[in-house]
């Protein structure tokens, strides 16, 4: 196996912009499962839409990348699992079927099964 996301038990995550477009830095293609926001700010002048992450000096800084998108999927999966008791394939299915369809209708190699919708997945 050449990559962790290629494992059948892994959930591979692409990154989107705040406009629900594929982020320029995101991977995509066959095997993609789902997408999630990856940290692009709403604009160059306001920080409200940014994803902040702890830095080495103990503060926070604006970050972007699939490394920001994947934790959103992981966190949502954890909440769904704790609330519903779902595990494994059933948990994956819940995340994928409650995602907001983007791009070509249904599954596509840009957004996978859609952009994560944490609210719908949990409720």
pLDDT at 65: 73
Q: Return the number of other C-beta atoms located less than 10 Å from residue 95's C-beta.
A: 24
Q: Higher-confidence residue: 18 or 89?
A: 89
Q: How far is CA 110 from the centre of its chain?
A: 12
User: What CA–CA distance (Å, rounded) separates 92 from 88?
Assistant: 6
On whether the CB atoms of residues 72 and 36 are closer than 8 A, the answer is: yes
pTM: 0.83
- Give 11-58 pLDDT, tens digit per residue: 999 999 878 889 888 888 888 999 998 876 655 555 555 676 777 888
pLDDT at 6: 76
């Amino acid at each position: 196996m050449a990559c962790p996301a290629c494992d059948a038990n892994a959930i591979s995550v692409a990154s989107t912009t705040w406009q629900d477009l594929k982020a320029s830095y995101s991977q995509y293609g066959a095997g993609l499962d789902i997408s999630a926001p990856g940290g692009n700010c709403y604009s160059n002048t306001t920080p409200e839409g940014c994803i902040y992450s702890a830095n080495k000096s103990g503060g926070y800084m604006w970050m972007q990348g699939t490394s920001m998108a994947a934790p959103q999927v992981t966190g949502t999966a954890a909440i769904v699992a704790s609330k519903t008791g779902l595990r494994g394939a059933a948990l994956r299915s819940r995340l994928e079927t409650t995602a907001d369809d983007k791009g070509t209708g249904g599954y596509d190699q840009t957004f996978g099964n859609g952009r994560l919708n944490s609210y719908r997945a949990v409720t």
